[in-house]
């Protein structure tokens, strides 16, 4: 707006023709000549970026490829021409004090970006339908996760038959009936003959199957008709009759009438009996009870005799994960709290040379946190080897940097008044921090730490992908073995644990904000003398020790790096930026960025209607629709409680390895996350304008369109851009599970021991994530 006002005052002195000509030669030059510097820069940068994008994606992804007279080119150049022409027109209009429509200035670039994003990600939505029957096995598994089981009881009866009939036919069936009494209507037969089988004495009203047993009894096959198993059902008296054909399996040994073979037919009923109990898989996931010999101290105290056993809980994968999340959070709080003061400008400005330290600290925080936990884990494996401890280190490093940044910002936002007061009493810098700063920041530090606990818990569920410990590792293993019921069970465990942590973290954060003000006239007892204090200290100690053990903390490992560690590290540091590597990286980065863009768009579009269903002020009010509110909320929470990388395997199975699978996985978590953010935006709308419209006689839909929509569009766009930022971070690792993009390239390079190329990948990730971070913050600032 300022620009147009600006140009309207200068249009008398500047020529529209010259402006247009300048813009024709160099995009943006005319606008620069007219004094609109920001617009000029934006147009110029966009033009250069489009030339590069169209050229690069034509070569690498055949984006928009067409053939004209034997020359291959991209029709996307037409869009660039359109943009160029708009820029000339805009310069001309600007010089006359007018503005041009946003339809072109924003529309053309957005159209171009989405077309390229589509070509780069290579989506194939048809597969979602055509291969749906394949993926049903996973959906079935999700409904029937391998967690609980019952004991089974089998009832069977078998009879025998000759195959084939001899000349002359046999007079008696072969020996060898077993189990409950059953019989067939023939004593011999050939493949394809119809048999009628009858039996009695079974449990009434149950369903079973018929099996053909090979002559030596080692092989068996279930009898089918038209592809489906033949079912037998008993009546109220426990009797049954069933007819079927002799399967081809029976003739495997050749049909020699001179040497008929005795074969068996078995009716088998398997029934679940007894109560539900944890399955073996449950014990691996959650834990089991082992019986250990009584420990020495119990024996010497006379509590147990040496031959006795004591039960011990053997924690499963999910507990290792919980331990990792807790321990990483504790470590990062302890390390980040002091570090954060180096990243706080208001503190460092008081120290000589402190501002330099401030910039260094902030820079390090940002670089470290732009590299995902999983990538840290891959790097750290070269130092401390596989295991839970490496996962802990990776979680802690990423968490320290993230939380230190938040803490620093909080320190910067403290009220300077008390600092001035403490300085006036003669307090020094340290005393100032202790008495004026720390009391102010404790609540927000606690809140951020709880939030980080939630995030760490989620990251801990996937860190096992790399560090080979915890539930992430279990998931990798079960997918490799094709055990989708085990995979489903793990997802359920993760969802339950993450939802609990999510709830606790949010509840405690709310309590901190509320923080009731206790009025007391007595000096408070030191906390170690109150009952609460003692209880929490003991609880904390127990949790700490348990987490320490679960995370297999082994500080010794830090000082015994793998023998190749130094050479690996120097390999990482000597970044390979040769042209072929650079081209590979650019290619994969484009995939990552555009995959994230499409996932954000798709997730946000699908989330849009659900956001209204999950908003308290829309559906949560009347008892009739409240179930919609809670139901939608639950679906959103459930979907976002599972990390995107864990969804990848479903989509890899469904649509095949590649960026499309990764994009779909990202869009699921996007749906969960952005649905929640959107619904909060809907909840925050001002009721007044809705009321005013209702008063004019508008109906519910009209008031949504005219009172709610205008209020929520800016926050929606802002959240969507924020989500794109998050999705780019997630997309950097999605390739580790087959979702395409830069993560896959990184894993390949590390797998091929080409660490100098892997180092270049990390560098590129740091650059792109930081740029996106800055850009998204800038854009959102302007939107709100």
Partner 1 sequence: MLRVEHLTKVFPNGTVALKDVTFQVPDGEFLAVIGLSGSGKSTLLRCINRLIEPTSGRIIWNDVDITALSQTEMRNVRRQIGFIFQQFNLVKRSTVITNVLTGRLGYVGTAQSLAHYFSKQDTERALNNLERLGLKEKAYVRADSLSGGQQQRVAIARALMQEPKMILADEPVASLDPVLSHSILKYLELLNKEDQLTVLCSLHFLDLVHRYATHAIALKDGQVVFQGLPQEIDDAQFKAIYGQDAQRVSII
Contact pick of 207, 431, 511, 564 for partner 1 (by CB under 8 A): 431
* Closer Cβ to partner 1, 238 or 427, answer by number: 427
Our CA angle for 324, 441, 372, nearest 5°, is 35
> Residues 189-210, buried b or exposed e (16+ Cβ, 10 A)?
beeebebebbbbebeeeeebbb
Least Å distance, CB 715 to partner 1, is 31
Show the CA angle centred on residue 360, arms to residues 359 and 366, nearest 5°.
Answer: 90
By C-beta, is 420 or 687 nearer to partner 1?
420
**Residue closer to partner 1, measured from CB, 307 or 520:** 520
Interacting residue with partner 1 among 144, 150, 434, 481 (CB under 8 A): 434
| DSSP tally for the chain: helices H, then strands E | 34, 15
Q: For partner 1, which is the closer residue by CB, 422 or 677?
A: 422
As given in the structure block, the two tokens for residue 470 are: 């915890």
**Residue 335 burial (C-beta neighbours within 10 Å; 0-12, 13-18, 19+):** middle
For partner 1, the binding residue among 424, 695, 701, 784 (CB under 8 A) is 424
- Quick one: which segment of 238-246, 438-446, 541-549, 676-684 binds partner 1 (CB under 8 A)? 438-446
Q: Which of 130, 166, 185, 428 binds partner 1 (CB under 8 A)?
A: 428
Burial letters for 361-388: b for 16+ Cβ neighbours within 10 Å, e otherwise?
bbebbbbbbbbbbbbbbbbbbbbbbebb
Does residue 737 contact residue 645 with C-beta atoms inside 8 Å? yes
Q: What is the DSSP string of 287-330?
A: EEEEEEEPPHHHHHTTSS-TT-EEEEEEE-HHHHHHHHHHHHHH
**Window 256-285: contact mask with partner 1 (x via CB under 8 A):** ------------------------------
For the residues of 436-457, what is the DSSP string, one character each? IIHHHHHHHHHHHHHHHHHHHH
Residue 685's region, left for phi above 0, alpha for psi from -120 to 50, else beta, is beta
Cβ(376)–Cβ(390) below 8 Å: no
- State how far the Cα of 391 lies from the Cα of 394, in Å rounded to an integer: 5
Region 510-569 residues binding partner 1, contact defined as CB under 8 A: 517-524
The least CB distance from residue 517 to partner 1, in Å, is 5
The encoded tokens of residue 262 equal 């005795």
Give the residue with the Cβ less far from partner 1, 54 or 339: 339
Nearer to partner 1, 512 or 635 (CB): 512
Nearer to partner 1, 71 or 430 (CB): 430
CB nearer to partner 1: pick between 434 and 626: 434
At closest approach, how far in Å is the CB of 429 from partner 1?
A: 9
CA contacts within 13 A on the Cβ side of 688: 1
**Rounded least distance, CB 351 to partner 1, Å:** 12
DSSP 188-218: B--TT-EEEEEE-SSPTT-EEEEEEE-TTSS
Q: Which is nearer to partner 1, 352 or 480 (CB)?
A: 352
**Nearest to partner 1 of 440, 617 (CB atom):** 440
Interface stretch with partner 1, choices 183-191, 436-444, 490-498, 736-744 (CB under 8 A): 436-444
Min dist. Cβ of residue 407 to partner 1 (A): 17
**Binding residues for partner 1, how many (CB under 8 A)?**
28
Applying CB under 8 A, the span of 38-46, 428-436, 533-541, 546-554 interacting with partner 1 comes to 428-436
The helix or strand, by DSSP H or E, that contains position 585, with its residue range, turns out to be helix 579-613
Site string for partner 1, 404-423 (x = CB under 8 A): -------------xx-xxxx
From 689, 737, 736, select the one nearest 711 (Cα to Cα): 689
Return the residue of 5, 172, 236, 430 that touches partner 1, per CB under 8 A: 430
Dihedral of CA atoms 526, 529, 534, 537 in degrees, nearest 10, equals 30
Residue 758: φ, ψ to 5°: -60, -40
Give min distance, CB of 348 to partner 1, in A: 17
CB of 520 to partner 1, least distance (A): 5
Letters for 574-593 (x = contact with partner 1 by CB under 8 A, - = none) are --------------------
Q: Residue 534 Cβ, how far from partner 1 at the closest point, in Å?
A: 20
The span of 45-53, 93-101, 380-388, 424-432 binding partner 1 (CB under 8 A) equals 424-432
User: Residue 691 and residue 703: Cα distance in Å, rounded?
Assistant: 9
Q: How far is the CB of 424 from partner 1 (least distance, A)?
A: 4
By the criterion CB under 8 A, which residues form the site for partner 1?
Answer: 417-418, 420-428, 430-431, 434-436, 439-440, 442-443, 517-524
């Amino acid at each position: 707006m300022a620009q147009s006002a600006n140009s309207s005052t200068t249009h008398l002195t500047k020529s529209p023709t010259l402006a247009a000509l300048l813009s024709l030669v160099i995009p943006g030059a005319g606008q620069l000549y007219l004094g609109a510097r920001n617009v000029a820069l934006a147009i110029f940068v966009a033009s250069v970026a489009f030339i590069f994008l169209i050229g690069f994606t034509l070569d690498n992804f055949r984006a928009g490829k067409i053939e004209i007279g034997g020359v291959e080119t991209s029709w996307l150049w037409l869009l660039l021409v359109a943009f160029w022409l708009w820029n000339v027109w805009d310069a001309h209009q600007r010089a006359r004090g007018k503005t041009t429509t946003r339809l072109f200035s924003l529309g053309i670039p957005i159209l171009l970006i989405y077309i390229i994003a589509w070509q780069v990600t290579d989506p194939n939505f048809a597969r979602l339908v055509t291969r749906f029957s394949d993926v049903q096995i996973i959906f079935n598994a999700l409904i029937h996760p391998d967690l609980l089981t019952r004991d089974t009881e089998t009832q069977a009866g078998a009879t025998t038959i000759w195959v084939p009939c001899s000349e002359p036919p046999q007079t008696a069936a072969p020996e060898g009936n077993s189990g409950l009494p059953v019989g067939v209507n023939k004593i011999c037969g050939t493949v394809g003959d119809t048999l009628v089988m009858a039996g009695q004495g079974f449990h009434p009203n149950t369903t079973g199957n018929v099996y053909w047993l090979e002559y030596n009894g080692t092989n068996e096959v279930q009898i089918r008709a038209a592809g489906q198993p033949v079912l037998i059902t008993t009546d109220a008296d426990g009797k049954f009759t069933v007819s079927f054909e002799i399967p081809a399996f029976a003739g495997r040994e050749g049909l020699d009438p001179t040497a008929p073979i005795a074969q068996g037919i078995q009716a088998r009923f398997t029934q679940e009996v007894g109560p539900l109990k944890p399955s073996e898989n449950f014990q691996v996931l959650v834990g089991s009870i082992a019986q250990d010999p009584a420990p020495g101290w119990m024996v010497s105290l006379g509590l147990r005799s040496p031959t006795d056993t004591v039960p011990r809980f053997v924690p499963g994968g999910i507990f290792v994960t919980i331990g990792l999340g807790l321990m990483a959070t504790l470590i990062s709080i302890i390390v980040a709290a002091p570090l954060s003061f180096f990243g706080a400008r208001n503190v460092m400005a008081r120290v000589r040379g402190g501002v330099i330290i401030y910039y260094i600290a902030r820079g390090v925080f940002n670089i470290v946190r732009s590299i995902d936990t999983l990538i840290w884990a891959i790097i750290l494996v070269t130092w401390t080897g596989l295991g839970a401890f490496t996962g802990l280190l990776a979680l802690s490093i990423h968490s320290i940097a993230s939380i230190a940044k938040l803490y620093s910002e909080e320190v910067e936002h403290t009220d300077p008044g008390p600092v001035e007061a403490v300085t006036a009493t003669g307090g020094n810098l340290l005393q100032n921090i202790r008495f004026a700063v720390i009391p102010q920041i404790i609540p927000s530090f606690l809140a951020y730490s709880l939030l980080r606990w939630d995030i760490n818990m989620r990251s801990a569920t996937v860190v096992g992908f790399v560090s080979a410990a915890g539930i992430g590792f279990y998931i990798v293993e079960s997918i490799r073995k094709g055990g989708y019921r085990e995979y489903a069970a793990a997802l359920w465990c993760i969802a339950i644990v993450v939802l609990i942590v999510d709830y606790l973290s949010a509840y405690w954060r709310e309590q901190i904000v509320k923080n009731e003000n206790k009025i007391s006239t007595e000096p408070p007892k030191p906390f170690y003398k109150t009952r609460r204090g003692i209880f929490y200290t003991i609880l904390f100690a127990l949790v700490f020790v348990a987490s320490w053990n679960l995370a297999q903390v082994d500080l010794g490992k830090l000082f015994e790096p793998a023998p190749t560690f130094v050479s690996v590290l120097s390999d990482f540091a000597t970044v390979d930026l040769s042209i072929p590597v650079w081209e590979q990286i650019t290619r994969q980065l484009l995939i990552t960025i555009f995959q994230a863009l499409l996932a954000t768009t798709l997730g946000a579009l699908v989330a849009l209607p659900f956001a209204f269903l999950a908003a308290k002020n829309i559906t949560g009010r009347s008892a009739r629709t409240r179930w919609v509110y809670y139901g939608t909320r639950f679906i959103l929470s459930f979907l976002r409680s599972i990390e995107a990388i864990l969804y990848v395997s479903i989509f890899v199975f469904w649509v095949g390895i590649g960026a499309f699978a990764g994009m779909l996985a990202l869009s699921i978590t996007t749906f969960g996350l952005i649905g929640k953010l959107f619904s909060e935006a809907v909840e925050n709308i001002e009721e007044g304008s809705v009321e005013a419209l209702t008063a004019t006689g508008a109906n519910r839909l009209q008031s949504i369109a005219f009172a709610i929509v205008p209020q929520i569009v800016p926050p929606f766009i802002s959240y969507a851009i924020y989500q794109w930022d998050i999705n780019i971070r997630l997309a950097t690792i999605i390739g580790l599970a087959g979702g395409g993009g830069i993560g896959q390239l990184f894993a390949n390079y590390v797998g091929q021991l080409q660490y100098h190329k892997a180092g270049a990948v990390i560098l590129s990730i740091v650059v792109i994530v930081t740029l996106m971070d800055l850009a998204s913050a800038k854009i959102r600032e302007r939107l709100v």
